[in-house]
Structure 1
Amino acid sequence: MRTLRIGCEFNHVAQSATPANFLVRPAGEGGVLRELWTTDPVMPTRRFTDLYGNEIRRVMLPAGESLVSYYAVVEVPDELDAADPSAPVLRPEELPDETLAFTLPSRYCQSDMLSSSAWQLFGDYPRDFELVTRIQGWVWNHLEYRTGSTGSWWTAKDSFDAGYGVCRDFAHLMISLCRALNIPARYVSGYLPDMDVPVLPTPMDFHAWVEVYLGDRWWTFDPRHNARRKGHLPIGRGRDATDLAMVTSYGAPWLRRLTVWADEELDEPWPPADTSMAARDPFGN
């Protein structure tokens, strides 16, 4: 096992009190050693579990500036994502009941619109683990990663046609192609540290990847990187990004700053000793 620090800070400015939901805590399988939720100013919070088993924290953001933070130290396996080339693609009648929802089109994953293309591209290959690996590789080659290039309106069909996107778009397109072939696939959001790979030059952010049901279990695939990686730490799972917004606000507060951590840098105390807005503000205001 290896030890990571993870966390995030949401610095909002709201014109009036605004209800908001936060989905940032690792899912149940994450080995959380210690953690801390904080808010500045102090806000009452409560948690609930959504339809997909994801843990969500509800708060009321006050008028003015606020900071909602989550910090944790976790353990993750020092091994690559599991793979089994012998795992088969099941026929629809063999699929467990709970996987069927992940064979259907959804808001961002229009598998019905991409069905003809999916069968033209992949319909002649054996239906096995390697087929899904082939789909992942095709998405990675078809799409150019462009930071900040898409928004909440952008769908898998848009990515397919335009040829670019961000990590969530890579995930949506792979999910859509799998579902078009009657293979259950779901969207996963979470933390991904740069473990035993070159560190990306861009600031750390949340990551999106895919889980596909093959044989008798869900398997991790990451079309953004087209490789098995160490450290995938899920926060939540759902049909697509509709179900897994990191923050959902029932109003229009300005997100002044978002900071995310997922690394092995534990030289400093974590969680931070001072989690106040003044201490955590990199702008010094």
Structure 2
Amino acid sequence: MLIQAGFDIAFQCPARTPMLLQLNVHPSREADLRSADLVTARPNLPMTSYMDLYGNRVTRLDVPPGLVSFHNRLVIYDSGEPELTPPDTELTPVVGLPDDVLIYLISSRYCDSDKLSDFAWANFGGINGGYRRVQAICDFVHEKIRFSYPHARSTRCASDSLHEGIGVCRDFAHLAIALCRCMNVPARYCTGYLGDIGVPRDPAPMDFSAWFEVYLHGRWYTFDARHNHPRIGRVVIGRGRDAADVPISTAFGTANLVRFEVVTRELDQQRASA
């Protein structure tokens, strides 16, 4: 299938403000693109890009005072198949994990697993098998947290989510990641597009989504504690230890958000080929 994805985002800046944007599709999906993945700015501004420590593409620019808007529409190919479920075999011992995976076992800004270790082992330590343990964590987080946009808070970490029981998709991901890390399961945060493909349409305005990946049996697998079942058509933008590593925008000054629209939908392929 073909998926159209994109955004229209605008900021009001009272003074010249350097900014970083993480809005391009992750390089691991570039081969699936069927149109240019091009972030455009209005007014037209010089922009450069670089790859960060986690392999994400970051756009760098200097924004003058006033209103600035960013736009993109892209078309990307997707298999149309639900995400794979990993085989339920024993976990890889920590000593057998690749060096570059070990960072995803360590506490981070929003995934404060050092505060949750006793809770995690008491609740999930008796579950054998990597997949069953991760799925039990997803089931717990799915039931524990009530989704609520009005209760979003940028400072909420995993231990806060456990006690408060409310949040948005990033909070589901952070708590699940932290609990997985407590159980010696490498887990990393993902952000990107997730449309209502193969599921009933959500009447709420569309947003970027957050989920996570765990390293099992020599590869990364997708899990989503908010929706808690395999989905079709995820398009990853960024990966990192937690949301602090993959912000959609970073302003080195004041940048007030005045417009935010996200689009993700299955594209009619007959119309796309016309």
Establish whether TM, by shorter chain, passes 0.5: yes
- Equivalents in 1 of 2:167, 2:119: separation in Å? 19
2:113 is matched with 111
- Compared CA separation, residues 19 and 240, structure 1 to 2 (3 A): same
Local SS of the residue matching 2:114: coil
1:33 is matched with 34
* Residue 151 in structure 1 maps to residue 153 in structure 2: yes
Deviation at 1:86, TM superposition (A): 3.1
Deviation at 1:265, TM superposition (A): 4.8
1:11 is matched with 10
| Residue pairs, 1:74-223, within 5 angstroms | 74-223=76-225
Structure with the bigger percentage of helix: 2
Normalised TM-score (structure 2): 0.94
Deviation at 1:87, TM superposition (A): 4.3
Deviation at 1:228, TM superposition (A): 0.6
- Equivalents in 1 of 2:211, 2:83: separation in Å? 12
* Residue 43 in structure 1 maps to residue 42 in structure 2: no
Partner amino acid for 2:19? A
Partner amino acid for 1:113? K
Asked whether the equivalents of residues 191 and 234 of structure 1 are also in contact (C-alpha less than 8 Å), the reply is: yes
- Equivalents in 1 of 2:210, 2:150: separation in Å? 14
Deviation at 1:232, TM superposition (A): 1.2
The more displaced of 35-44 and 226-235 is: 35-44
Percent identical residues: 38
The more displaced of 213-222 and 147-156 is: 147-156
Asked whether the equivalents of residues 146 and 166 of structure 2 are also in contact (C-alpha less than 8 Å), the reply is: yes
Local SS of the residue matching 1:33: coil
Local SS of the residue matching 2:136: helix
Local SS of the residue matching 2:34: strand
- Equivalents in 1 of 2:20, 2:162: separation in Å? 31
- RMSD of aligned Cα (Å): 1.4
Deviation at 1:128, TM superposition (A): 2.0
- Equivalents in 2 of 1:88, 1:14: separation in Å? 52
Deviations 1:86-133 (A, max 9, x none): 343111111111110000000100101000000011011103211111
Which structure 2 residue ranges, 5 or more long, are not aligned?
A: none
Deviations 1:37-77 (A, max 9, x none): 21111100000000000001111122111111122111111
- Equivalents in 1 of 2:228, 2:178: separation in Å? 17
Deviation at 1:134, TM superposition (A): 1.1
- Equivalents in 2 of 1:193, 1:116: separation in Å? 36
Asked whether the equivalents of residues 85 and 130 of structure 1 are also in contact (C-alpha less than 8 Å), the reply is: no
Local SS of the residue matching 2:156: coil
